[in-house]
Chain A
Amino acid sequence: MNTQARFPAASRLLHWLMAPMIVAMLFIGVGMAASLSPRYELLVSIHRPLGIAVFVLCLARIVNRFINPPPELPDTVPSLQRFAAKASHVVLYALMFIMPLVGWGMLSAARYPIVLYGPLRLPPILPHDLTLYAWLRDLHTGLAYAFFATFLVHFGAALFHGLVRRDGVLGSMASW
């Protein structure tokens, strides 16, 4: 663990492409679930295709993770933090994979058309069922809060590495 601490370029590209998309999704989601304003329609019309885009990129990212494994954390990172880092990354991957599927599934169970753009629609993936919809809709909200909390911890940890520990971990992702 010395010179080559950077994430591979493909990993950095995927990370920085998806990070703003996911943060935008979380803010759009919490905003549209409260909104009655004219922005609601716009927010919904962004949320659906952007969620599907996150899902597609997430699949690419999982494949990339096997091709391009991430660099090891510095030996100086204590084992508890090491575990927290690993666990939070597993949670983030799981959420970016599951959230779009739950969204797609809940719209399917409610028989809302899953409009991507114009006439472009996705087919339903679940039967038309109110109870199933209620369950998935609540799950979507619960996972969104968990996602936001995990993102916040991830963001805080990155700043901690960059500003306090200054151990090169932030730079391994945030470098060009």
Chain B
Amino acid sequence: MSTNPTEKIEREDNTRNGGTSTKNTKPFRFRAAQVTRVGVPVRLGAIAAVMLSVGAAFAGVGGWLSPSRLTQDRMMAAFEDASGTHAGFRHNHAKGVCVTGWFESNGQAAGLSKAAVFKPGRIPVVGRFALAGGMPFQTDKPATVRSMALRFLPPGGEEWRTGMNNIPVFAVNSARGFYEQLLASSPDPATGKPDPEKMKAFLAAHPETVRALQLIKKRQVTSGFANSTFNSLNAFRFVDAAGASVPVRWSTVPVQPSAADSAEPSAPGDKNYLFDNLIAQITQHPRQWRLIVTVGQANDPTNDATLPWPDGRRQVDAGTVTIDQASSEDSGSCTAVNYDPLVLPSGIEPSDDPLLSARSAAYARSFTLRAEEEHEKPPSAVTAREVQAGGNS
């Protein structure tokens, strides 16, 4: 574009005389270049091509042009294939109950992480106990993976959220692995049951899952939520006040004695026996877990949640989580909370585990969907009445 004023005036006169339509047949006169009848369509075509390219790039980044790319929506669809659609519920760990209590930090982890949550003192906690899987009305069974999610609320707004499971390692080490596992365990439309051949093929392609499942099956299954140990599974990094960081995994270890599962429901036919027992126990007296931080060493895998860390790693008892109240999800303080594993205070950072981003992204999508469907949601399996009755359904 020229900045020569005379040229500009001349050009403007030109346009005035020649009209302004792009379909103008009279050629524009320019000193720099002749815009001919051919020139205008070519230039318009070039502009259209540039605009189309930018639009296509946008669509490409949004995942619309690559049907094989694993997106948040495709992960949600896989959950629905495996567990059906349940409007208003979480896509995973759909059956749960809200709890509240506090965390009493003893200050012992403050040397590892500068996070306010580890300074000595007591802070409120909003938690959720749940069963893995996308079925919000599934019958409680001993072997179903149990989870404990916690939201630590230190003063100053730097909160920490974590979701932990009662298994020693995770079954997959990537979002793709998780997705394929969901597809392999989805019921076949013809039979209504998962196709064993599909699961066989999945396991053949994922030796890390085969190894992890052996460890998961070997775990001791306790009688309920209150005496289960819950593990972060993913690795994170604790950063101290000087900026030094160490890889960590954490667990909540029950203070109440562990008892092997008797698989005896509190009442015969109680579909919610795990939840009802937990509610009854909390109603009797508060239940407690120690927050144990395991400090990894340089070669311990941080990017693969299927691999356990060697025994004998340094463990730091950071304090005690006390749960003294339960409430149904229908009215509970955990309902509008996404236990996003990347909601971290400064002093706790994500590791290089690809599952952390995948979990955060999938949880966010699931959270948005259930927020949109909130008005259609039926009452949760564990109802407010059930909680008020002290866990007797």
Interface residues of A, Cβ cutoff 8 Å to B: 1-3, 5, 26-27, 30-41, 44, 74-78, 110-113, 118-119, 121, 123, 128-131, 133-134, 137-138, 148, 152, 155-156, 159-160, 162-168, 170-171, 174-175
Q: A34-B63, A168-B8 are in contact. Are A76 and B20 (CB under 8 A)?
A: yes
Known: A30-B61, A35-B71, A36-B70. A168 touches B371 (CB 8 A): no
Distance, CA A111 to CA B333, complexed state (A): 12
Q: Which of B9, B75, B371 contacts A133 (CB 8 A)?
A: B371
Name the contact of B371 in the complex, choosing from A33, A118, A130 (C-beta under 8 A).
A130
Please state if A35 and B72 are interface contacts (CB–CB under 8 Å): yes
Per-position contact with A for B34-56: 1 when CB-CB < 8 Å, else 0? Answer: 01000010011011101100110
Question: What is the bound-complex CA distance between A77 and B28, given in angstroms?
Answer: 15
Q: Give which listed residue, B3, B12, B40, B370, contacts A171 with CB less than 8 A.
A: B3
Interface string of B194-214 (1 = CB under 8 A from A): 000000000000000000000
Docked-complex contact B9 and A36, CB < 8 angstroms: no
Out of B57, B71, B352, name the residue touching A34 (CB < 8 Å).
Answer: B71
Interface centre among B54, B55, B69 (most CB of A within 10 A): B54
Contacting A36 at CB < 8 Å: which of B337, B345, B361, B374? Answer: B361
The answer to whether A162 touches B71 (Cβ under 8 A) is no
Contact of B362 with A by CB under 8 A? yes
Residues of B within 8 A of A112 (CB): 338, 340, 343
CA distance A124 to B158 in the complex (A): 12
Q: Which residues of B contact A119 (CB under 8 A)?
A: 158, 345-346
Chain A neighbourhood of B157, CB < 8 A: 113, 121, 123
B371 to A36, Cβ gap below 8 A?
no
Given contacts A34-B63, A112-B343, A166-B11, 8 further A-B contacts (CB under 8 A): A36-B72, A38-B352, A41-B342, A44-B342, A131-B374, A133-B371, A134-B368, A148-B58
Q: Are A40 and B12 in contact (CB under 8 A)?
A: no
Interface size of B as a range: 35 or more
Closest to A176 in B: B3
Chain B 354-393 against A: per-residue CB contact (8 Å), 1 yes, 0 no?
A: 1011101110000110111011000000000000000000
CB-defined A-B contacts under 8 Å, sample of 11: A36-B358, A41-B356, A76-B12, A76-B15, A111-B337, A133-B371, A152-B55, A155-B54, A166-B35, A171-B1, A175-B3
Smallest CB-CB separation from A167: which chain B residue? B15
Report how far A23 CA is from B172 CA in the complex, Å: 36
* A32, A78, A112, A175 — most chain B CB neighbours (10 Å): A112
Q: How far is the CB of A158 from chain B (nearest CB, A)?
A: 9
Query: What residues of B have a CB within 8 angstroms of the CB of A40 in the complex?
Result: 357-358, 360-361
- CB of B61 within 8 A of CB of A164, answer no
Instruction: Please judge, given known A-B contacts A34-B73, A37-B354, A137-B368, whether A166 and B50 are in contact too, CB under 8 Å.
Output: no
Minimum CB distance partner of B61 in chain A = A31
Task: Report, nearest first, the 7 A-B pairs whose CB atoms are least far apart.
Answer: A171-B1, A134-B371, A34-B63, A40-B357, A30-B62, A119-B346, A34-B71
Q: Contact: B72 with A164, CB < 8 Å? A: no
Q: Which residue of B lies closest to A171 (CB)?
A: B1
Q: Bound complex: CA of A26 vs CA of B9, how far in Å? A: 38
Would you call A175 and B71 a contact (CB within 8 A)? Answer: no
